[in-house]
Amino acid sequence: MRVIMIPSASGGLGHIGRTAALARQLQHFDPSIELEYLLDLDKLRPFNIDAAAATGYRVNLLPMRNRGDRDPIVRACLGSADIVIEDTCRHLIALRPIVPESTWISVPMYPLVDELFMDWPLLAQSDGIVWPYPPALDFPPELATFADKLIKTGPFLDLDGIPDRARARRRLRFAKDERVLVYAPRGMTFGRPFGERVLAALVGAVVNLAKQHQVRLVLASVHDRNELRGPGIPDPLPECVTVLGPLAPTQMLALIRAADVAVTEGSNMTQEAAALGTPIMMIPGTIYESWLLGTRLKQVAGAQVLWIETVSAATVLDALHNLLGPAPQRRRMLTNALQLIAGGGGVKAAAQFVLDRHHERRRHRRQRVR
């Protein structure tokens, strides 16, 4: 069986991590499954190519298409797929009739405005819809129309094989008394003004913290060192900052587990940190989904949440002092964060749903032929 995954290549790395978790679970259920990525060249961000390649799966590109060459291009890229898993690329569902033999599974993105309502004709063409968000993020009522082919799984958190904190720190050679912060600039997904402000404030806070403690800021998933240059960002970076290139999702999870603080912007890394028991400083990105998750975390005291308008070296340093403070306070925060994201069968339920929908569709097709 061949499964082709099409994550959003115009957004952040969360879509790569999410589909990689689903891919690993599908192969756990059936090791004979062949998996590959297909990245749409339209608005493709180069760091997504590196991130997809880091998963170990084959990566192909879906070329730009026009009316004259659309069908042969789509058949060449998707014609061999038994299952297509499309993650937040709803506009590509319109290509579905060109490859009618494939089972098409859609993973919608949390609505930025009202696009889920407007996209219902596209979602109606999919064979299954997976909703991978925690119950704490309100379920969009417009998806209720598709209840017969929809599953609410909660976040895809594939933590099997991720070492515990002590082993992860030893593998990464972090000193026992070293305070480690991890942040993934991820190509500054929410725009350079946002990313530069966060990075400048974070580096400034860490330099101040380093005057009193042994501290290290790990910047992960950096596609190009030039991405880290901007107003207020020291160049060269201070010795307490370590820069890592693209990481496989399991490597990133181990790094989050080893850290004392995870600095997050989007929902995927925030949910991973909560599940891995790592204290969170969230600076919600400029989309509704991130804003809502940050608001919920702040309401339940599950993280230190800073809005971008308030971000400075001083406010980040104050948040870090709270996160690195007394152990009972950290434990309460971690418990609150984990409870917020809990609920649903997760990636295992999603993988089983994908296979069940495919087998059900094949069975119906055989019955029609008879």
* CATH code, domain carrying 109: 3.40.50.2000
Residue 159: inside a domain: no
Span 73-82, average pLDDT:
97
Structure tokens at 79: 């014609």
Question: For residue 280, what are its two tokens?
Answer: 């969170």
* Residue-level pLDDT at 123: 93
Inform me whether the pLDDT recorded for 266 exceeds 80. Answer: yes
What's the total number of domains in the chain? 2
Q: Give the angle 142-149-70 at the CA atoms, nearest 5°.
A: 85
Full residue range of the structural domain in which residue 115 is found: 2-154+343-369
Q: Is residue 46 part of a domain?
A: yes
80, amino acid identity: S
Indicate whether 331 and 189 sit together in one domain: yes
Q: Does this model's pTM top 0.85?
A: yes
Show the CA angle centred on residue 292, arms to residues 286 and 294, nearest 5°: 80
pLDDT tens, residue by residue, 208-260: 999 988 999 999 989 888 889 889 999 899 999 999 998 988 999 999 999 99
pLDDT tens column, 190-207: 999 999 999 999 999 999
Strand order in 280-282's β-sheet?
241-243, 215-219, 179-183, 261-264, 280-282, 304-305
- Cα torsion for 40, 44, 46, 47, to the nearest 10°? -90
Tell me, yes or no, whether 160 lies in a domain: no
For the stretch 27-68, pLDDT in tens is 999 999 999 999 999 989 888 999 999 999 999 999 999 999
Which of the four pLDDT bands, split at 50, 70 and 90, describes residue 370? Answer: low
Domain-located, residue 63: yes
Residue 8: burial class (beta carbons within 10 Å; 0-12, 13-18, 19+): buried
Is residue 247 within 8 A of residue 255, CB to CB? The reply is yes
Q: Examine the domain organization and report whether 365 and 332 are in the same domain.
A: no
Q: Is 83 helix (H, G, I), strand (E, B) or coil?
A: strand
Do 140 and 189 lie in one domain? The reply is no
pLDDT score, position 189: 84
Query: Per-residue pLDDT tens for 140-165?
Result: 999 999 999 999 999 999 898 999 99
DSSP state letters, 197-260: HHHHHHHHHHHHHTTTS-EEEEE-S-S-GGGG--TT--SSPPTTEEE-----HHHHHHHHHH-S
Cβ-based neighbour number of residue 128 at 10 Å: 23
Residues 282, 215, single domain; the answer is: yes
Encoded amino acid at 224, one letter? D
**120/186 same-domain check:** no
Contacts of 146 (CB under 8 A, 6+ apart): 123, 124, 129
pLDDT at 262 over 80: yes
Shared domain for 182 and 262, answered yes or no, is yes
What's the mean per-residue pLDDT of the chain?
Answer: 93
pLDDT > 70 fraction of the chain, expressed in percent and rounded: 99
Is the domain of 180 the same as that of 149? no
Same domain, residue pair 19 and 95: yes
